A = this chain, B = another copy of it.
Amino acid sequence: MGIADKETRNVPTLASIAERVGVSVNTVSRALRAPNTVRVELRRRINAAMEELNYVPNRLAGGLSGTRSDIVGVVVTSLYYSEFASIVDTLQSALLEQDLQVMLANTRYNPDQEVRLVRSILSWRPAAVAIIGVDHPPKVVELLKASGIPIIEMWDVGGEVIDTAVGMDHASIGAAQATHLIAEGYARLAFVGSLRENDRRAQKRLRGAETAVVAAGLPEIVRLTTQQNGSPDLGERLTHELLEQHPEVDAIVCNSDVVAFGALRALKRSGRRIPGEIGVLGFGDNEASSCVSPSLTTVRPDRERIGKLTAEAILARINDGAPKTTVVDWELIIRESTRRRDSQNQ
């Protein structure tokens, strides 16, 4: 039950409607696409027939015949732990208002998958593609360029842009993280968390921090990273390792807030005072970061703004606007986990 036999499965087409109403196929098509060119009364009968037969237009046919598609391909590197979920969320709802449908792909930081997924998405002849990052395998760049459609790169802006980008300057984020810790009197920094080979954004942040540390005449940042997914358990495990191997460290920059949650847990279990003995700083401003104790200092990317600006950029480019790269602001949210001085209140 529920599924009709394949033989009898008879999805209505424009022709079914046309036959039922007694007009030509094209008139029915017009009733949909240019309603004011069809008599009111006839239009009413056509709409009634469509409603009655539960007609759903076939966009495969429409897209093939017509000139424009209304798919927007969205390629993210992860969805888990909500890293890009809220960007997709706002982007999708903004596009929906223009009747654009999101087709989603998740590369999970795998460049081979990225090539495959981009190819797959392009095969649907989307009106535009939005993709996380500005660093892609050469084949991806080639395919996207050859497609001739607007390409919006999100989240990052540093580097070679294909067409249009909406993102943050990650090097400056890393610099701000380090600078803040140094200003609070921390001197031996560590970077902890997942640092995937293909997560160029994290690498840029780390390099930005490194530069600030060097400029301050402090010793190099200790790195304890893996290719795995970030999680509290990972943060806890790496932090324990760190305490053992590098007892001199007095501040930890985590690649994401969820990793920082684990770091806090590990430090508390080891009896370290935060922020007195050791500071912890995250990235991403997870919804729980203001609720853990001590509350977590972190960087808040304006995800909604990125989603919204991406939608706007897509629409602008579809309507022949010029390519444009927009740098989106972020905010260092200073909370308890790094605040040694009493200078600020929040």
> What is the chain B residue whose CB lies nearest that of A70?
B120
- Determine if B64 and A2 form an interchain contact, defined as CB atoms under 8 angstroms apart: no
- Determine if A60 and B54 form an interchain contact, defined as CB atoms under 8 angstroms apart: no
- Mask for A91-121, Cβ within 8 A of B = 1, else 0? 0110010010111111010000100010111
Chain copies in complex:
2
> What is the chain B residue whose CB lies nearest that of A262?
B291
A69 to B59, CA, bound (A): 12
A289 to B122, CA, bound (A): 40
Q: Give the top 9 A-B pairs by smallest Cβ distance, nearest first.
A: A288-B288, A82-B82, A261-B291, A54-B146, A85-B85, A104-B104, A79-B89, A9-B148, A60-B63
> What is the chain B residue whose CB lies nearest that of A11?
B148
Taking the closest CB of chain B, its distance from the CB of A231, in whole angstroms, is: 7
Residues of B contacting A331 in the complex (Cβ-Cβ under 8 angstroms): none
Q: Which residue, of A9, A286, A317, has the highest number of chain B Cβ atoms within 10 A?
A: A286
A30 to B300, CA, bound (A): 51
Taking the closest CB of chain B, its distance from the CB of A107, in whole angstroms, is: 10
A85 to B80, CA, bound (A): 6
Residues of B contacting A80 in the complex (Cβ-Cβ under 8 angstroms): 82, 85-86, 89
- Mask for A278-320, Cβ within 8 A of B = 1, else 0? 0000000011111111000000000000000000000001000
Taking the closest CB of chain B, its distance from the CB of A98, in whole angstroms, is: 12
Question: Which interface class (under 10, 10 to 19, 20 to 34, 35 or more) fits A?
Answer: 35 or more
Residues of B contacting A286 in the complex (Cβ-Cβ under 8 angstroms): 287-288
A147 to B1, CA, bound (A): 13
Taking the closest CB of chain B, its distance from the CB of A44, in whole angstroms, is: 19
A106 to B101, CA, bound (A): 10
**A258 CB-CB contact with B under 8 Å:** yes
- Determine if B119 and A56 form an interchain contact, defined as CB atoms under 8 angstroms apart: yes
Residues of A participating in the B interface, judged by any CB pair closer than 8 Å: 1-4, 9, 11, 54, 56-64, 69, 74, 78-82, 85-86, 88-89, 92-93, 96, 99, 101-106, 108, 113, 117, 119-125, 142-143, 145-151, 162-163, 231-232, 257-258, 261-262, 264-265, 286-293, 317, 323
Residues of B contacting A57 in the complex (Cβ-Cβ under 8 angstroms): 123
- Determine if B291 and A232 form an interchain contact, defined as CB atoms under 8 angstroms apart: yes
A93 to B104, CA, bound (A): 11
> What is the chain B residue whose CB lies nearest that of A149?
B3
A95 to B119, CA, bound (A): 16
Residues of B contacting A4 in the complex (Cβ-Cβ under 8 angstroms): 148
A299 to B143, CA, bound (A): 45
Q: Which residue, of A58, A85, A108, A125, has the highest number of chain B Cβ atoms within 10 A?
A: A85
Q: Which residue, of A86, A102, A149, A287, has the highest number of chain B Cβ atoms within 10 A?
A: A287
Q: Tell me whether A104 and B106 are in contact in the complex, defined as CB-CB below 8 angstroms, given that A60-B64, A61-B64, A288-B292 are known contacts.
A: no
